Structure 1
Amino acid sequence: VAVGPGKPLDNGSVRASALKVGDKVIYGQYAGSTYKADGVEYKVLREDDVLAVIG
């Protein structure tokens, strides 16, 4: 997993992500969006779509 800075909140602050770079995650079959760049397929998810962190 690659992780962004966190979720912007209404009060202007940012809630840090509970995920760390390198975490392996399980997500629902229809969660997120798939993108291709330079022949590599990427899955982009919201943190709320992550069902579990494994390993």
Structure 2
Amino acid sequence: MKFRPLHDRVVVRRVEEEAKTAGGIIIPDTAQEKPSQGEVIAVGPGARGDDGKVIAPDVKTGDRVIFGKWSGTEVKIDGEDLLIMKESDI
């Protein structure tokens, strides 16, 4: 898969959380929420500041990140469910 997001956009693959609690209780699929952590797959070159210069993003490919529950837009690329979001949503 070869693609590059624009500006300050970041492509994230969700990382599935454990289906079992620390106490050993198994959580059924119907009660689990979508995970709010993931791995950065691709990063844009950065946003433009007020002076017109590009501000490099703080995250890089391979970083593990936490994001808000409603952050990003879900997309399917090469059959894989991914999220595209602004760096500020992370």
Please classify the TM superposition score into its range, dividing by the shorter chain length.
Answer: 0.7 to 0.9
Q: CA deviation at 1:31?
A: 0.4
For structure 2, the residue ranges without an aligned partner over 5 or more in a row are 1-39
Partner of 2:66: 26
Return 5+ residue gaps in structure 1 as ranges: 51-55
How many equivalent pairs are there?
Answer: 50
Distance in 2 of aligned mates of 1:28 and 1:17: 18
Q: Percent identical across equivalent pairs?
A: 44
Over aligned residues, Cα RMSD in angstroms? 1.1
Is 1:40 equivalent to 2:40 in the alignment?
no
TM-score (norm 2): 0.51
Q: What are the superposed Cα offsets for residues 6-50 of structure 1, whole Å, 9 maximum, x if unpaired?
A: 112233210000111110100011001000123111101111100
Question: Aligned partners of 1:24 and 1:40: how far apart in 2?
Answer: 18
Letter in 1 for 2:86: R
TM-score, structure 1 as length reference: 0.78
Greater C-alpha Rg = 2
Larger strand share, 1 or 2: 1
